[in-house]
Amino acid sequence: MKLDYSLVTRRTFLNTLFGGWLLAFLSGSIIALLRFAFPTLGKEPDFVVLKADDFMNIPPNSTKPFAWGGKVGLFFRKDERTRVALKGVCTHMDCNVAYKPEERKFYCPCHKGWFDENGKNIKGPPPKPLEIFEFTVEGDKLIVARKGVKVELPKA
């Protein structure tokens, strides 16, 4: 069938065809590239298992670091009887904090943030207290877990 009139010229038709093809190709490629460039995220662990001997008997008023995924956890012996496990990462900008035994406080040197011995933010920019973990001792194992997480160890 031959049309006398057409709303679309041959040029417009071809431009649309090639333009559309190019657009589809480019957007598809860009999405694929972006998805490749964006990392597959791991996640923080729900719990870690440590050796109880290494941590339970550290001197009072001191801390010992442990690996909490890629971050640092601190096992803190407040006094003879009280022990706390917490995440040793400042809630402001993710710097590692250090425990200052003489002041009984946690300190973040990046922006001068302070936390008291219970992990509460008391001075400087940190917006939230340090994250406190729960821990249990089972035999020679020390299990440090995120609050409210049920730990099921594989039977061995």
Spatial separation of the C-alpha atoms in residues 34 and 24, rounded to whole Å: 15
What mask of x and - would describe binding to other proteins in positions 24 to 63, judged by CB under 8 A?
-------------xxx-xxxx-------------------
Q: Which is nearer to other proteins, 58 or 95 (CB)?
A: 95
We find the least distance from the C-beta atom of residue 34 to other proteins, in angstroms, to be: 9
- B/e letters for 82-106, b = 16+ CB within 10 Å, e = fewer, are ebbbbbbbbbbeeeebebeeeeebb
- Bridge partners, 48 (sequence order): 144
Do 105 and 114 touch, CB atoms closer than 8 A?
yes
We find the least distance from the C-beta atom of residue 13 to other proteins, in angstroms, to be: 34
What mask of x and - would describe binding to other proteins in positions 106 to 145, judged by CB under 8 A?
--xxxxx--------x--xxxxx-----------------
**Segment interacting with other proteins, rule: CB under 8 A, options 46-54, 67-75, 77-85, 139-147:** 67-75
Alpha helices by DSSP H, listed for 40-154, are: 52-56
We find the least distance from the C-beta atom of residue 70 to other proteins, in angstroms, to be: 4
We find the least distance from the C-beta atom of residue 96 to other proteins, in angstroms, to be: 5
Residues in Cβ contact with 93 at an 8 Å cutoff, skipping those fewer than 6 apart: 110, 111
